[in-house]
Amino acid sequence: MLPVRFLALAALLIAGSAPLPAPLSAPLLAQGPSLTADELDRLDRGEVVNRLVEVPGERHREGLAARVLPHPPDRVLRAVADTDHWAEWVPFLARSARQSPAESGGGAAGGPRWELAFDLPFPLRDRHYAARVEVSGDADDARTVSWESIPGSGNVASARGSFTLSPRGPGRTLVVFRSATDPGDATPELLLERALRKSLAWVLDGLRQQVNRCRYTEPWPDGCREERPGPPG
């Protein structure tokens, strides 16, 4: 699920007819800084917002990027929640596969898990871990697709992120992408932040292209030979 380039560059990672999971009481990723009026103006002019923000109590800054896509939120949600196809558009994500009940320790607690593996460019180390993906929010307002690494499942201390989708005028969606990763090793902070900052815009560009695929059109279009989206959770 995710060939462009990806948010996991610095070691992060994370439908048609498939039902979405029940909304959560709270998203996995805590609420963060809101966009400023100046940033919203820039977004409406077609620009991309891209910055790093401090997170109280955490060692590494969080990446935040936003852009407006010329598609309605329900179509964008189908693409973002389609975890089975993340590797088609997330930069450097080599594998995104649902784990079997045996691989995930029986499966029930916490819902399905996905194995995420990233082939990152030198000098960054390749990363892999299992993650839980959840969808929250109100269909009439903002919807959020969040993911979080499962402790002890890979070679990162922690990784999490989210896409929040909000209406921004007729047929348009404001996408806010956030990601935060603690690789748990001695990778220099400057290298991590440089990679994260560059990957933020790449992820949104990958999503911009992915949303155009016929598999996210409803009703299902005649002549679309793509694999239908699978359940995200």
Condensed to tens digits (0 to 9), the pLDDT of residues 3-19 reads: 334 333 333 333 233 33
pLDDT in tens, 44-70: 999 999 999 888 877 788 899 999 999
Q: Which residues of 134-164 are buried (b: 16+ CB within 10 A; e: fewer)?
A: bbbbeeeebbbbbbbbbeebbebbbbbbbbb
Angle at 192 between CA 187 and CA 197, to 5 degrees: 175
Determine the pLDDT at residue 144. 93
In this prediction, the residues of the chain whose per-residue pLDDT falls under 70 are 1-33, 100-111, 231-233
pLDDT in tens, 13-43: 332 333 333 332 333 343 445 789 999 999 9
Determine the pLDDT at residue 15. 29
| Domain residue spans of the chain | 7-21+37-216
Determine the pLDDT at residue 24. 29
Determine the pLDDT at residue 96. 87
Determine the pLDDT at residue 56. 81
CA distance 201 to 6: 9
At the fourth CATH level, the homologous superfamily of domain 7-21+37-216 is START domain (3.30.530.20)
- The model scores a pTM over 0.75: yes
For residue 81, the SS3 value is: coil
Query: Tokens 């401090």 appear where?
Result: 54
